[in-house]
Chain A
Amino acid sequence: MTDMTVSGASVAMPRTKSLLQLDERTRRRNASEARFRMIGFLAVLIGVFALVFLLGSILSNGLSSFRQTYISLDIFLDPARLDKAGTRDPAELAKITTFSYAPLIEKALADAMAAKGVSGDGVSVKAAAELISKEAPADLRRYVLAHPQAIGTKVNFDLLASGRIDGYYKGRVTMESAELDRNISPAQLQLADKLKAAGILGTHFNWGFFTAPDASDTRPEASGLGVAILGSAYMMIIVLVLSLPLGVASSIYLEEFAPQNRLTDLIEVNIANLAAVPSVVFGILGLAAFINFAGLPQSAPVVGGLVLTLMTLPTIIIATRAALKSVPPSIRDAALGVGASKMQAIFHHVLPLAMPGILTGTIIGLARALGETAPLLLIGMVAFVRDYPAGPPEGFFDPASALPVQVYNWTQRGDPAFIERASGAIIVLLVFLILMNLSAIILRRRYERRW
């Protein structure tokens, strides 16, 4: 009660203090103003920090995948093992399996260690050879099949070191973890250090990451993005070829010709809703319509391309309509005034002027399609694909992977080396996205006209 009377009295009371001196209530209000402003600023900071943290975490995990540990050896391609008949007949050479190549590598490693004076210190030759990736004999075999004339000579190879050794130089594997690891021992790591000192083992840029196909669970060091990049590129070609003409055609109709009727309304509502349908539902559509009904092959870029086209269409239509709308009516009127038909006015004048906006929208739609994962999982692109798809157009029907799906695939594997690979793949994906978005921005800055 007393509070009430006091506060009531204070309102009625004339001000006794200077206006320049803030009273209690004003101070409180100003403090709350500052607080509110602070909270807003903090929210912006949190948003920006989240972006930086997200990108930073991906970069710190993934940048190391662009470098790889190799073991450089001069390998004698022994004719006694590879080509007993001495005919260099490709069919005969193809019968020699990778098992026959492994001893060559073992021997070359032993020779190199002897030549550089590196002692095994209780590490057997067999255990020393485990430093080299299991993929190496296959690489060697591929080289020999491609160059049969090299048999009988000494050739220098940069062989992949095994995933654990690679991890050792990237800080993923330590002496302590090696104690518990069945695949590597501390003695082997010490040997690797000696090899490094002797110049046999070294780290350099990892081209294979961009060109090699995926590799099996036990060979993270050999896995690459070759098939995934190719598959993504095929899908983008399909999306571009289908969605640009279809999107532009339907926007032209809706923006320039469509009468105000129920059909037009229905189409517009549909486009707005399609833009908001969860991507995984498009995957179900792809599975049911394109694979089960139309009988297209699973994991093929053509199915992925079609699904992504349907997903991208609304984006492109919305962007194209905005671009067409921004062309002033005076252009149309002038064309019609000199006797052009409506179709001529649009195709000869409006469309070229709207083109920068349309292309910008298309590139942004493509960028979104490139990063889309969920629908591709449903149409079977998770399959393990080692073979490169053929060149287009047949290659559109071959099994392939896609960049974001490859990332998902690698996150599902046991070896922690695949997390590094997955982060590396994301960096590649982000670089593509940044390039696409940059080109969209440049296109807009350069060519878009403000009327």
Chain B
Amino acid sequence: MNVGIIILVVLAFAAAGYIAGKRQALALSAGSGMKLHSLSGYYGQTVALFAAVPAFLLMIVWLLVQPVVVENRISGMIPESLASEPAARSLVMSDVRRIADGLDSVLVRGGLGEEALDSIAADTQNVRARLAEVGIALAGEVPPVVFEAARSYRQSAKTGALAMTFAVFGLSLLLGFLAYRRIDPQMRARNISETFVKSLLIASSLIAILTTIGIVFSLVFETITFFKLYPASEFFFSTVWNPQFRGGSELGILPLLWGTLYVSFIALLVAVPIGLMIAIYLSEYAGRSMRSFAKPAIEMLAGIPTIVYGLFALVTIGPFLRDYFAAPLGLGSSSSSVLTAGLVMGIMIIPFVSSLSDDIINAVPQALRDGSYGLGATRSETIKKVVMPAALPGIVGAVLLAASRAIGETMIVVLGAGAAAKLSLNPFEAMTTVTVKIVSQLTGDSEFSSPETLVAFALGLTLFTFTLGLNVLALYIVRKYREQYE
């Protein structure tokens, strides 16, 4: 049965449970003459919660576990002769899955029953042709073992789905019924249902932790696999990045790190002075009307998706820099360059610097300024000599946050910086960054278990550690600063 239908049925059970529970509570109280402990609705709510929530949890767990179990069982059916190494095995398994899907379509199309599969199986020559009819193209003939595996894959998936339907309905009805049976006027229904709801609230707040754990695990495990295939010292200290399809790749992170830092450096070179001056002007000089117009306009820059900046770099800034600067100066002929990406990324992070600094400058107490004015300082002198030193830790924090944003930025560098891994100082040359290579290694066609793909996880882990470190540092600095005036 379809998951959507299962959900609807369980919800219907819960609704029925609510009504039945409420009625039962009222009837019992009327029958025994006892007052209910809670409002009658809470009895219904208790039944409904017990009927729905555990059943849904079971369903989610089942949906996650079943494919893994089925996969393992079927994978065991495939003989060593067909799949000697893990890569070949995963190829065969994907064939199995596709055949299994295809068989469904074959049956639906032909209006055939399950028993027709026997006749298809008897005639393996025909299998490929019949699957081709429903749009499943297979590379070669289907060996009987694989076909059998596909059949039993289908069978297991079907049995599993059926078992899940029964288990979910059963659990829903059972728990709902038990809760219903426990109803009596003295039952503290409100407390029970509130405890239930509270545990749901706690569970959903744990998702943040689960996500972090998920990120760390998915990065760390694949990175370990990668380091088993490729020496870690090479990865961290080699200056050559040259992935090959046929193995023998050189996967040194240094050129990528260099590109990342170079692009981010240029971006900060653009964003920090401009962003800081915007913050100063808007908080110290600008009138109300100017502020109400310019502040949202600048912040709009932060709301524009990065793909827009990427396209801007690709079609406008890149060719502009190439035609008017790089080519006349003889520095390069590529429209994607470190400078292109850095410039556009700088524009993108202006609002990060400016709005964070704005908050920090506004948090500097007016008394400090007044004291400075009282001594005869001009506004700019007050800003440079009094406000800035007081706000400095916060501004450093803001710059670090902006830097972490720049390092983790993907689309601008994918479209603007180029794909060549180089260690060069020329800003008009195309270079590449960690994020670009994560995207290109994971969207390519290479085998998942090859070092060329797995390196993306090691790159991701490096990136994650880097940005996390910067963020923690920034928060630490900002927090330490904040305590000074409070």
Contact = CB atoms under 8 A, between A and B. Distances in A.
Given A249-B201, A433-B303, A280 B463 contact: yes
Contacts of A276: 401, 404-405, 467-468, 471
A201 B221 CA distance: 60
A244 to B, nearest CB: 11
B162 to A, nearest CB: 19
A273 B68 contact: no
Candidate in A29, A266, A276, A404 with the most chain B CB atoms within 10 angstroms? A276
B383 A36 contact: yes
A411 B310 CA distance: 10
A283 B407 CA distance: 16
B410 A39 contact: no
B305 A373 contact: yes
A81 interface: no
B298 interface: yes
Interface string A252-296: 111001100000001100111110111111111101110011110
Contact of B410 (A54, A266, A280): A280
A155 interface: no
Contact of B4 (A51, A310, A393, A426): A393
Contacts of B354: 47
B452 interface: no
A44 interface: yes
A277 B411 contact: no
A322 to B, nearest CB: 14
A253 B435 CA distance: 35
Contacts of A271: 208
A278 B408 contact: yes
B467 A54 contact: no
Contact of A273 (B63, B212, B298, B379): B212
Interface in B360-379: 378-379
Interface in A367-418: 367-368, 370-374, 377-378, 380, 382, 393-394, 404, 407-408, 411
Interface stretch (B245-253, B274-282, B391-399): B274-282
B468 to A, nearest CB: 6
Given A343-B194, A411-B314, A253 B408 contact: no
Given A51-B298, A278-B409, A285-B214, A44 B380 contact: no
Dominant secondary structure of chain B at its interface with chain A? helix
A260 to B, nearest CB: 14
A57 B315 contact: yes
Interface stretch (B109-117, B176-184, B438-446): B438-446
B410 A374 contact: yes
Contacts of B407: 278
B263 to A, nearest CB: 14
A284 B454 CA distance: 11
Contact of A44 (B67, B281, B379, B463): B281
A105 interface: no
Contact of A58 (B208, B308, B380): B308
A37 interface: yes
B211 interface: yes
Contacts of A225: none
Contacts of B457: 284, 288
Interface string A177-206: 000000000000000000000000000000
A310 B211 CA distance: 7
A372 B304 CA distance: 10
Contacts of B439: 280, 374, 377-378
A281 B468 CA distance: 12
A300 to B, nearest CB: 14
Interface in A140-156: none
A284 B218 contact: yes
Contacts of B200: 249
A341 B194 contact: yes
A253 B204 contact: yes
Contact of B307 (A30, A43, A280, A426): A426
B297 A47 contact: yes
B205 A250 contact: yes
A280 B460 contact: yes
A407 B221 CA distance: 33
A313 B305 contact: no
Interface of A is mostly: helix
B415 A408 contact: yes
Interface string B396-423: 0000010011011111001100000000
Contacts of A295: 67-68, 71
Contact of B277 (A33, A39, A279, A437): A39
Nearest to A404: B307
Contacts of A270: 208-209, 211-212
Interface in B458-486: 460, 463-464, 467-468, 471-472, 475
Nearest to A295: B67
Interface in B264-304: 273-278, 280-282, 284-286, 290, 294, 297-298, 300-301, 303-304
Contacts of A288: 218-219, 221-222, 457
A257 B205 CA distance: 11
A373 B411 contact: yes
Most B C-beta atoms less than 10 A away, residue of A36, A276, A280, A378: A280
B307 A54 contact: no
A32 interface: yes
Contacts of B281: 37, 40-41, 43-44
A327 interface: no
B202 interface: yes
B215 A44 contact: no
A289 B218 CA distance: 7
A308 B76 CA distance: 35
B347 interface: yes
B277 to A, nearest CB: 3
Contact of B380 (A33, A48, A373, A382): A33
Given A40-B281, A44-B282, A272-B475, A433 B305 contact: yes
Nearest to A382: B443
A44 B2 CA distance: 56
B320 to A, nearest CB: 10
A394 B3 CA distance: 9
Contacts of B350: 47, 50
Most buried by B among A44, A246, A273, A294: A44
A157 B442 CA distance: 44
A61 interface: yes
Nearest to A314: B208
A108 interface: no
B311 A294 contact: no
B274 A284 contact: no
A47 B460 contact: no
A76 B276 CA distance: 68
Interface in A50-90: 50-51, 54, 57-58, 61
A386 B249 CA distance: 35
A266 B208 CA distance: 10
A33 B380 CA distance: 5
Leading 10 A-B pairs by shortest Cβ distance: A278-B408, A371-B305, A40-B281, A288-B218, A250-B205, A43-B277, A36-B380, A374-B410, A253-B201, A295-B67
Given A270-B209, A393-B3, 9 more contacts: A33-B380, A39-B277, A41-B281, A47-B297, A47-B350, A249-B205, A272-B475, A343-B198, A408-B414
24 contacts: A33-B379, A36-B384, A40-B277, A44-B290, A47-B301, A250-B208, A253-B202, A257-B202, A276-B401, A279-B408, A280-B439, A281-B408, A281-B460, A284-B218, A292-B448, A294-B63, A382-B443, A393-B4, A404-B307, A407-B307, A408-B310, A423-B315, A426-B311, A433-B304
Interface of B: 2-4, 63-64, 67-68, 71, 190, 194, 197-198, 200-202, 204-209, 211-212, 214-215, 218-219, 221-222, 273-278, 280-282, 284-286, 290, 294, 297-298, 300-301, 303-312, 314-316, 347, 350-351, 354, 378-381, 383-384, 401, 404-405, 407-411, 414-415, 435, 438-439, 442-443, 448, 456-457, 460, 463-464, 467-468, 471-472, 475
